[in-house]
Amino acid sequence: MGHAPPVNKTDVEGENIQPMTATPEKEPHIIVKDLTMAYGDFVVMRDLTFTINRGDVFIIMGGSGCGKSTMMTILIGLKSPAKGQVFYGDEDFWGLDDDARDVIIRRAGVMYQSGALWSSMTLAENVSLPLETYTELTPAQIDEVVRLKMALVGLGGFEEFYPSEISGGMQKRAGIARAMALDPEILFFDEPSAGLDPVSARRLDDLIIELSESLRTTMVVVTHELASIFTIGTNSVFLDASKRTMTATGNPSELLAETKDPTLRLFLTRGEQS
């Protein structure tokens, strides 16, 4: 997954990061086809069709309660769709048996909306559990990886703390460190920057951009933060709660420039233009 030749990027110090333009070659990573999600008889969203390309920072956006977290649970195999398909590469994710699905999802890292850290383990143990389970690294190597990941989310030095001993925003970041533990091909983030201060949120955006550019990790990010959406997003889907379906997909900046849909326009401008 690492591509050695440095990616050309004008800014060096992490200032002025521009929305990335089209990725070199577009290779579909996840394809969602005609998807309907429902809880029992209650249909949350229907007719969803979009493609997430490898190396994309894909934003799932929409108002609160429109079904973004539900969409994520379907993409990561926790809840089956009422109708439609999800393809990872060319494999029909929900058509596979449980074991095959596990194999696919093991290559993904997930950060949950509430952090979902294991409360009986220290942060270091939280991050190292996936490494201990799925790699043959020595304890010393695992320790180094843990320290690197914790430093990447700005939590260096907090390895020995328990989740109940750190703040909500720190729990979120620790959740991100755990999601990144195995250098996954895909990272799912459910509202990563909610509850973070602006500087940490910005650093998180930088991290997301770096991972997607240098390791070509595909990022699927649920977020409401407009600043983030335009900074990191290379592609997106907009779920409209009132219509119960998606109304747009594409690069967020382009969507803002081109859309005629008043709901989407309202969303992308914080309701300032009608």
Ligand X SMILES: Nc1ncnc2c1ncn2[C@@H]1O[C@H](COP(=O)(O)OP(=O)(O)OP(=O)(O)O)[C@@H](O)[C@H]1O
Q: Which residues of the chain form contacts with another protein (CB under 8 A)? A: 1-7, 9, 12, 14, 118-120, 135-137, 141, 144-145, 147-149, 151-152, 154-164, 183, 203, 206-207, 210-211, 213-215
Among 31, 32, 35, 66, binds ligand X (CB under 6 A): 66
- Comparing CB distances to ligand X, the nearer of 67 and 130 is 67
124 backbone φψ class: left, alpha, beta (φ>0; ψ -120 to 50): alpha
Quote the least distance from Cβ 75 to ligand X, whole Å.
12
Residue 191 Cβ vs Mg ion, minimum distance, rounded to whole Å: 6
- Binds 136: which of another protein, Mg ion, ligand X, none (CB < 5-8 Å by kind): another protein
* Structure token digits, residue 34: 């005609």
Cα–Cα distance, 103 to 259 (Å, whole number): 39
For 67-218, where are the alpha helices, taking DSSP H only?
68-75, 98-105, 123-134, 139-152, 168-179, 198-214
167 binds, among Mg ion, ligand X, another protein, none (CB under 5 to 8 A by kind): none
Should residue 73 be labelled a site residue for Mg ion when binding is judged by CB under 5 A?
A: no
**What is the per-residue burial (b if ≥16 Cβ within 10 Å, else e) of 142-152?**
beebbbebbeb
The reply to whether 67 sits near ligand X by the rule CB under 6 A is: yes
Residues in the site for Mg ion, rule: CB under 5 A? 69, 113
